[in-house]
Amino acid sequence: MKTQVCIIGGGPSGLLIAQLLHLKGIETILLEKHTREYVLSRIRAGVLEHGFAALMREAQCGERMDREGEIHEGFFIAHDDRLDRMDLHKHSGGNSVLVYGQTELTRDLYEARERLHGAVIHNVEDVRLHDLESASPHVTYSVGGATERIDCDYVVGADGFHGVSRKSIPADVLKEHEKIYPFGWLGILSRTKPVSPELIYAKHERGFALCSLRSQVLSRYYIQVPLSDAVEDWSDEAFWAELKRRLPSQVAQQMITGPSIEKSIAPLRSFVAEPMRYGNLFLAGDAAHIVPPTGARGLNSAASDIYYLYHAMLAHYQRGDDSGLNGYSAKALKRIWKAQRFSWWMTTLLHTFPDNSSYDKRLQQTELDYLLSSEAAQRSLAENYVGLPF
């Protein structure tokens, strides 16, 4: 087979750039390791920056997102049995975020791909990238026992943290930066009315908690847990009791509990791989970077990668201008590192660190006191949370 751009990975990053390029007549083939059902069974992000939402609209995939998503103009920080509201709209000059689950966004992208008869090959195995430094790279993979080959101009590695693309960059070229946090997030999804119309990020001596939502009848909650915990250690009852302990009493009293329809523990890490280009391979999304979900930057970090890569490929195919492709890695990494900083800052501000000294604890409390007392600090939080400009 031959195509212009071969995309590895059928998550939001791969699907979004496939859709954008396809709409401009650029041929793409997308390879996905799992079935669509499996990809859609994963519960992940919930908050979209306005830049990501704009890209979904440009990809002609924003209609359900705009109909069913909820515009949020602020969120709460819970601490010392009280709530303080961060006014994103006021402090970001009128911007907001859209609460719309990654699962639904990915579903919309798959359905758009199908409507346009875009090629998606599921259940691929043994994907390998070849001749990346040549003008005609190719990808081989097996499906149903047969080995196939795709010749292309470019490969987009959108295959997530555990994918094959990043690992195809030679070790003497690739530089990886990583920070592992000494805790994870235990998350549940429940068909209950959310306890708050806006998100609540809770700082508590027992550990961090987050009250989020997917709709007015679907709640998403998280609590910080030690890395040694397993999801089997947590009954629903134990989860609800611990969540309530970490929230202000006025919130805990209003909590509507119910059976979990999904429950999982995600470890927290910060990770960046450099460069994000090797020859004619371009990394995008989790294939190149991971953040702790505290700042809701995970999926949103992929947005600027996709934006830059899409415009760079458009310039190449429409005008023979390769400046965007040549500048992609440096430009993408500049914004990625700002998302890394914000995610690290929010995580450090709100979580309980087992090895923190008394000085560390006082500094953490002072950081929160400064945020709550300074409009300048709240403007900084707001501009990062709604999404820095591309």
List contacts with ligand FAS (CB under 6 A). Answer: 8-14, 31-34, 39, 44-46, 102, 124, 127, 158-160, 162-164, 266, 285-286, 293, 296, 298-299, 302
The residues, ordered by sequence, that sit 6+ positions from 38 with a Cβ below 8 Å of its Cβ are: none
| Sheet with 289-290, side-by-side order of all strands | 82-87, 74-79, 200-202, 209-215, 218-225, 175-190, 260-274, 289-290
Q: Which does 266 bind (CB under 5 to 8 A by kind): ligand FAS, ligand PHB, none?
A: ligand FAS
Q: How many CA atoms lie within 13 A of 263 on its CB side?
A: 18
Cβ nearer to ligand PHB, comparing 299 with 325:
299
Cβ nearer to ligand PHB, comparing 9 with 46:
46
Cα 12 from chain centre = 9
Region of 207 please: left (phi>0), alpha (psi -120 to 50) or beta: left
Q: Minimum CB separation from ligand PHB for residue 215, in Å?
A: 11
Distance in angstroms (rounded) separating the CA atoms of residues 158 and 287? 6
Q: Minimum CB separation from ligand PHB for residue 142, in Å?
A: 35
Q: Which does 294 bind (CB under 5 to 8 A by kind): ligand PHB, ligand FAS, none?
A: ligand PHB
Q: Minimum CB separation from ligand FAS for residue 82, in Å?
A: 25
Cβ nearer to ligand FAS, comparing 32 with 242:
32
Q: Minimum CB separation from ligand FAS for residue 299, in Å?
A: 4
Q: Provide the token pair at 11.
A: 């998550």
Q: Which does 152 bind (CB under 5 to 8 A by kind): ligand PHB, ligand FAS, none?
A: none
Q: Minimum CB separation from ligand PHB for residue 45, in Å?
A: 6
DSSP string, 142-170: EETTEEEEEE-SEEEE---TTSSSGGGS-
Cβ nearer to ligand FAS, comparing 267 with 374:
267
Token pair 């009791």: residue: 241
User: Footprint of ligand PHB on this chain (CB under 6 A)?
Assistant: 45-47, 199, 212, 220, 293-296
Cβ nearer to ligand PHB, comparing 137 with 292:
292
Q: Name the amino acid, one letter, at 181.
A: Y
By C-alpha distance, which of 205, 203, 202, 179 is closest to 358?
205
Q: Minimum CB separation from ligand PHB for residue 126, in Å?
A: 33
Cβ nearer to ligand FAS, comparing 33 with 72:
33
Distance in angstroms (rounded) separating the CA atoms of residues 207 and 16? 36
By C-alpha distance, which of 372, 347, 362 is closest to 83?
372
Q: Which does 158 bind (CB under 5 to 8 A by kind): ligand FAS, ligand PHB, none?
A: ligand FAS
Q: Which does 34 bind (CB under 5 to 8 A by kind): ligand FAS, ligand PHB, none?
A: ligand FAS
Do the Cβ atoms of 299 and 52 come closer than 8 Å? Answer: yes
Q: Minimum CB separation from ligand PHB for residue 6, in Å?
A: 31
